[in-house]
Amino acid sequence: MLRFVLSFLGGVFSWFVTALAFIVLTVGGVFWMYSRDLPSHEQLASYSPKTISRIYDGDGHLMDEFAEERRVFQSSDEMPDLVKQAFISAEDKNFYVHRGYDPRGMVGAALQAARGGAVRGASTITQQVMKNFLLSSDRTVERKVKELILASRLEQTLTKDQILELYLNEIFLGQNSFGVAAASQTYFNKTLDQLAPHEAAMLAAMPQAPSRSTVRDKERITERRNYVLREMMQNGYITRETYEAEAQLPLRTVQNGDFPSFREGLPPRDYFTDEIRRQLSAQFGQEEFFGGGLQIRATVEPELQAIAAEALREALEQYDRGLGVWRGTGESLAPEALANEAAWREALRDAEVPRDIPGWHAAVVLLLGDNDARIGIEGIEEDEDGHWIPARDVEWARKRGPDGRLGPRAQRASDLLEVGDVVLVRAMTSDEDGSFIRWTLRQVPAVQGGFMAMDVETGRVYAMQGGFSYQSSVFNRATQAQRQPGSSFKPFVYAAALDSGFTPATIVEDSPIVLNTPQGLWEPKNAGGGFYGPTTLRTGIEQSRNLMTIRVAQDIGMDTVGRYAEKFGVYDHLGPYLANSLGAQETTLYKMVAAYAMFANGGERVEPTLVDRVQDRRGRTIYRHDQRVCETCDQPALPAGLAPAITADRERVMDAVTAYQLTSMLEGAVQRGSGRGVSLPVPVAGKTGTTNDAKDVWFIGYTSNMVAGCYLGYDQPRSLGQNAYGGTLCVPVFNAFMQKAVEKFGGTRFKVPEGGHFVKIDRHTGARLSADASGPNVISEFFRDGASSEIRLVTGGFQGDPNAPRAWDALPLEATPASGGGQAVTTSTGQRRVIPKQADFGTLSGGGLY
């Protein structure tokens, strides 16, 4: 019997050992098979998660942020223990003692499931890191085995704190928030060290179901939060008193309106930061920009940016208001959404209207009276009498009917509005004391425009506005709109001429031109008609004479003009057509303003930039715009009154004398030409531009240290009207901005370069005058040293009409032969002058070019 029992036990033992060996070999084989092609876990030692790239202004204030995954990376050392303890209690209470997997946790989860309790996960934090980084989320045995293998390997490679750092920065917590730091901002608008225990516990409650809403699923999230708090108490991280007090607190979040949103503290996204996105995405790549955690220091001056936006908006709205056509927003609310205040406020919140225009509010028409309209305004509380649009506020406008025709001018609010219409309104206030007068209707203009201002030495862009409202149109008309610059391009023609032997006193024929082109006869005209006859180069640009510009371009050659335009960066390639000398080829305001900066700084290349520097996530500078070298900045102290010595090795684009001559002529365009509306306390130069049919109007001007430009026009080009000119529409924008800019940055006289000398000239005739000459026609013209004094009359080879009318009676009207081989000129004042064959300053050398 004993032998039988021993034999039986021996058999059982042998069977057990054999089965155990089989199981071990099978499990070992499975683990060996799945471990052969596992991804490397060692890459996690150099973990660089996708993190938010942020843009700061010059004062260090956050302007905007961009991210595919909203994550703010924080090292383990920076994370409060409270946050770590909350997640460990919620997800893996044995984290600091297991080796990557938790057998006790697995058994406990299995027993709980067998007893019919709630199924809880048995994955450790280390396993979750492996799943999130290296594996898929498939619910398969294969994935689980791989997860266990990799988790055990990772525990041998990284410390526990390093693993926890990976987990807390990578985990998705809902609301597009990845990592605990970003989630803390999203839900509470707090940093991690500001969180209370119940708030840290709520974050730790989110991994179980990150898609839950803190608004709709408030009770379930609160239950999970309190479970985490209880686990924290049981694990010894908080006291029972703390647990009981924290568990009684309500769930308070940004989404429930308990805290202001983090985004509310940021200015609304604008054209400036979006242009930075476009440029840096191209330079560094989309992935690096949106996920590289870049720290970007922008060149913007917030005060000037606000002024630029306001000045451009005022000009656009004033023009649009003058047309007297009501378009509205095109948005309306359904009748059921007007049932009560809560309903219309919720519906109005979803209306797609711009909300980035200072002082403007979205509103809905609630009631139409006999004359007035009652409105409900977003963000403004209702009062006993309600808010109203009076009849007198609509009398400026007409509305188009279904047939597209304009109706009569409105007499009452119902002539423009219907119940349910979503409108934009602004509070009208008293200029004297700022007191409220009434609400007034506004609308986003159909006409658009752009504005840009930059430093002429460094290229730092201080302000950029690409339209009326970024939220109504993200298209940036300062950098993306290709438009004809019109006469604002003429300075490049004159710059090429000055470098080709012309002087400001060179005489150019202003008379009719007829060109035979493949498209037929082209007969260009001067703006306003009329002809000046033989006229100085200075007058040609001051008065923006088209026919003179064409003759100059023909004389020096369009190839030369093209090389200059391309060298200044206005075009990649300028077509060799005379019409392009008048600004017929399209370019951008961004390129034009940058090119004018080179006139202002004496002819040296300067590249515009919206970014001073870029740092990576570790604080290393990976881009810096200013490459100038400070020679004395390493000295402990500088002598009193001595500025740091800064050297730059910049390419010279044009001769310094040419740059000064052109600047002097453009000063005249501001003082006596179409830009004479400019009014600044410092010297300023500039040029207007108005294209055919006034489809585009421009003004670009500069002081000694800043250049700014404005463009206005419709996105789908059409005429702005008979009275639309660069001087009437863009100059006021330039004025409003530059007056504030000069207050901040000042300005001086334009620097006179070496290599030239001043000679007094009659600016009408080009005649050289004595040093003591004075009068309204006398001007000190700057001439290049050593330049030939021989000046020819330039007609560009076009035959002028000797009977053509002359518009300016101070210029020569007819010419007859004179003795001595010269030419006698009779002016409109009856004076006679003899012009010798060998012409000097201000004289004519026709060369058969009339």
Residues designated as active site? 91, 487
Report the distance separating Cα 226 and Cα 127, nearest Å.
25
Report the distance separating Cα 57 and Cα 831, nearest Å.
63
Residue pair 195/232 in contact by the 8 Å Cβ criterion: no
DSSP 643: P
- The token duo for 755 is 């290599």
Cβ count near 648 (within 10 Å): 12
> At 807, which amino acid appears?
A
Closest CA to 184 of 270, 112, 253: 253
* Helix locations, 298-360, DSSP H: 302-323, 341-349
C-alpha dihedral sign at 673, 675, 680, 686: negative
Report the distance separating Cα 824 and Cα 847, nearest Å.
15
Report the distance separating Cα 568 and Cα 434, nearest Å.
47
- The token duo for 299 is 């060149």
Report the distance separating Cα 312 and Cα 466, nearest Å.
9
Report the distance separating Cα 273 and Cα 377, nearest Å.
29
> At 146, which amino acid appears?
K
Report the distance separating Cα 211 and Cα 482, nearest Å.
45
- The token duo for 134 is 């290296």
Residue the block writes with tokens 């209880």? 230
Using N-to-C axis directions, what is the helix angle for 589-600 and 656-672, rounded to 10°?
110
Closest CA to 274 of 60, 482, 478, 569: 478
Residue pair 452/709 in contact by the 8 Å Cβ criterion: yes
Supply the Cα-derived Rg of the chain in whole angstroms: 38
DSSP 462: E
Residue pair 764/810 in contact by the 8 Å Cβ criterion: yes
Sheet with 696-702, side-by-side order of all strands: 461-465, 448-455, 706-713, 696-702, 685-690
Residues 6 or more apart in contact with residue 299 via CB below 8 angstroms: 58, 460, 461, 462, 609, 610, 611, 612, 625
* Tally of helices (H runs) and strands (E runs) in the chain: 21, 28
Residues 6 or more apart in contact with residue 659 via CB below 8 angstroms: 495, 598, 599, 601, 602, 603, 753
Residues 6 or more apart in contact with residue 774 via CB below 8 angstroms: none
What does each C-alpha distance from 838 to 110, 143, 373, 788 come to in angstroms?
110, 96, 78, 11
Range list of β-strands (E), 639-741? 646-647, 685-690, 696-702, 706-713
Closest CA to 798 of 552, 581, 539, 494: 552
Report the distance separating Cα 305 and Cα 309, nearest Å.
6
Report the distance separating Cα 467 and Cα 271, nearest Å.
8
- The token duo for 59 is 């004062």
Residue pair 470/422 in contact by the 8 Å Cβ criterion: no
Phi, psi angles (nearest 5°) of residue 517: -115, 165
Report the distance separating Cα 533 and Cα 529, nearest Å.
13
Report the distance separating Cα 410 and Cα 270, nearest Å.
35
